[in-house]
Amino acid sequence: MELTPEVLLSAYMQGIFPMAHDDGRIHWYSPNPRAVLPLDGLHVSQSLRRVIHRGPFEVRFDTAFDAVITACAAPAPGREQTWISAEIRSAYNELHRLGFAHSVESWVGEELVGGLYGVSIRGFFAGESMFSRRRDASKVALYYLVQRLRSRDFRLLDVQFLTPHLIRMGALELPRRLYLGQLRQALAVETSFG
């Protein structure tokens, strides 16, 4: 199945998302349980609070989408393979062009040092991947993502799978039935990321 914008948006609206396997083939997932980050439950440690207030990073939105997804796809220690194939990258760049995929970027001067990207549909945001080249750069991007989503009355931040990093930030798991109910409620909210 071709990863057209229509196919991707329809999948997200049903609680399904794609990932490429090592052979490049696209597989579709709807984990049960599903990881979410409650927008009113973000845990910000004292040390991260100091980093945010000290301001070593300039946070930008949607100024370097392809650079963010490329950095997320790059091999890293402990993650030599990636699920972000050339096909995935191309499809999400098209979603970005259409206004459905967004990046949150941490910069030091003109150097992109961390960030994340995801898909936004009405009051729903699906966080896809994040990267960091400097300590706390991706955490700061996540903090600013949550602030933006809250200010625009988003209802659901889907993070798909729990990781130790996301657990420390307040992520939790929901059974599929509860997740799909929250997804329906989020999709009923008239808002936008931009």
Domains assigned to the chain = 5-187 (3.40.630.70)
Total-model pTM: 0.95
89-99 confidence digits (pLDDT tens): 999 999 999 99
Q: Count CA atoms within 13 Å of residue 31 on its CB side.
A: 13
What pLDDT shows up at residue 80?
Answer: 60
User: Please, which pLDDT band fits residue 140 given cuts at 50, 70 and 90?
Assistant: very high
What pLDDT shows up at residue 91?
Answer: 97
Element holding 92 (H helix, E strand): helix 86-97
Is it true that the peptide bond before 18 is cis, omega within 30 degrees of 0? no
Q: Cβ contacts of residue 23 below 8 Å, gap of 6+?
A: none
Helix, strand, coil fractions of the chain, as percent rounded to 5: 35, 25, 35
What pLDDT shows up at residue 194?
Answer: 86
Residue reference for tokens 């799909």 = 180
Q: Cβ contacts of residue 115 below 8 Å, gap of 6+?
A: 64, 68, 71, 103, 104, 105, 106, 130, 131, 137, 138, 141
Mean pLDDT along residues 40-57: 93
Asked if 130 and 116 touch (Cβ cutoff 8 Å), the reply is yes
3-state secondary structure of 177: helix
